[in-house]
Chain A
Amino acid sequence: MKKWLYLLIIVILVMTMVLTACGQSQPAKDTVGSTTGDQQKQDEQKQDESKENVGSEKAELRIFWWGSQDRHDRTIKVIEMFEEKNPDVSIQYEFSGWDGYWEKVAALAAANNLPDVFQQDYQYLAQYAKKGLLEALDPYVERGILDLSDVDESSIVGGKVDGKLYGINLGSNAPCIVYDPALFEQAGVPEPTPDWTWEDYMNAAKTIHEKLDIYADRTFPGGYFHGLKHYVRQHGQKLYSDDGTKLDYSDDKLFEEFFTMELELVKQGALPMPDERLEVKSVEDEFLVTKKAAMAAVHSNQIVAMTKAANRPLKLALLPKHKDQVKEGMYVKPSMFFAVAATSKNKDKAVQFVNYFTNDIEANKVLLAERGVPISSKVREALMPLLNDAQKEMFNFMEVVISNSSPIDPPDPPGHPEVDKLLKNLEEQILYGQLTPAEAAIKFREEANKILAKSAQQ
């Protein structure tokens, strides 16, 4: 008790000292406080005014997404359109780059303050859904607030966790290969068909490298993760078990074969070493764009950005098939979702917004497939005449994917980001000759199972 009293006296004392001693004026704390206070008040006033303008009782929605300048501008415009149509809703939006987005969402989740609608990613969706942070949307579909009648099941299923719909796909894409047809022709290599196999890919890569003295590809198809996942799927297995507690595929041979192929190309110089790959950090210095390679592993929606950067026509190809494949490895992947927070106070309005985003033709004319191919067939039709060549290629390619695919696996388990990192490290160690593919396969199984088991405990 005495101590606290002591402390209080000190506080008062220091205040008087600050204000009196030697009569010098200090930039006192009060002024500062009031300045920020004023700022605050002004902002509040502004908000009040805008409220008054439209009328009484408004449902407030908060929306949060990541993206680039282009996406911000388009999304904000659609939000304004929605507000115009729904004067009873006022939307407070925030956006950020990919950098920092998930940190902020985590903080918001920890403080129980998630936005009503926020962008979700395939690798985090299951985690958030399983923790009860997201609202299951099936009832809203039944009630007709969310209209998915024009949407193919294959575009919906990626947003399901344990059989319930938690995320609405904002655009479909698929891990694939983007290539430069001119370079293929120059090397005398036939362009990939939907039926090309790993052997075809290997041969094409070697020929391109020998004939043109450039790299064939920056990474192996699909990169280390999607590539391996694809390869495992082709053999009728899954990378992760359905409950996400362990690796599902049983044969380490698959891992070994996959990375042996990559190692072979790297050794021949048809693929760059990781040190060189690392230097590509943006679309603009992608090797394909700078003509240092003829192919690149991408998600199909990236062709738009890449064509713009390269300023010449590019095309998309499926990941190679396996000659003895049990099923198709390709699948339709949701590029990103909108999810509704379980804590939202205006869930109906939130879902209504998601519905508008998904189905409204005018809104989608503004969004213009920037997040990937829209899932509604009506929207796709309406957009067709507005698309540029790269976007058309993306739309058409998705049709090819749909007819050469098998259903998507369940969303990645909570341990996925760490497993992904592990796999990346192992790939690098293989390519630098520190581990053989066989050794890496065993290590991957051990470590990944550990990670998955641990993260499943939570």
Chain B
Amino acid sequence: MKSDEELMQAYIEGDVAAFSELFDRYGPMLLRIMRRQLRDDDAQELVQQTFLQMHRARNDFDTSRKLRPWLMTIAYNLKRELFRRRGRKPEAALEVEPEAEDRGDIVERKSEAARLRRALATLPEGQREVIEMHWFEELSFPEVAEILGMTTSAVKVRAHRGYKALRATLEKDVTGG
């Protein structure tokens, strides 16, 4: 299987099929990221914008670097700009997928989502963003650092504080404290 970077190189050289493969790899992930804090139509709009920006910036991509943090930075910058334009801080809205099939599953997941939403909403924006990337999207600390323009150590400290605060909130939630 070709790596992301090989696919991007192929796309830069004009291989349209490589773009399809990249969309299949990153479209679902980006949509999940956006839906976590936005309504579905806004989330789709931002993912659309992310791929358009990826296309426009393709000649800026350095194929010796990783594609994922590069693309994620575009997505996160677009999301931040949208929140700035709307003059509101992002909410930790962990949405349940609208097409989940099982009714019982929906109820359970809604409850779980509400619990996570409450817990995440208690975190400062900087910590929440790091937790989102590290836990939800399974990005490594260096990748998160690259996206946020911070040092890896600073990201680790932020993640530690965030996880610690989340743990306290979730435990309190479970014990009803």
Q: Do A and B bind each other?
A: no
B residues sitting closer than 8 Å to A (CB atoms) are none
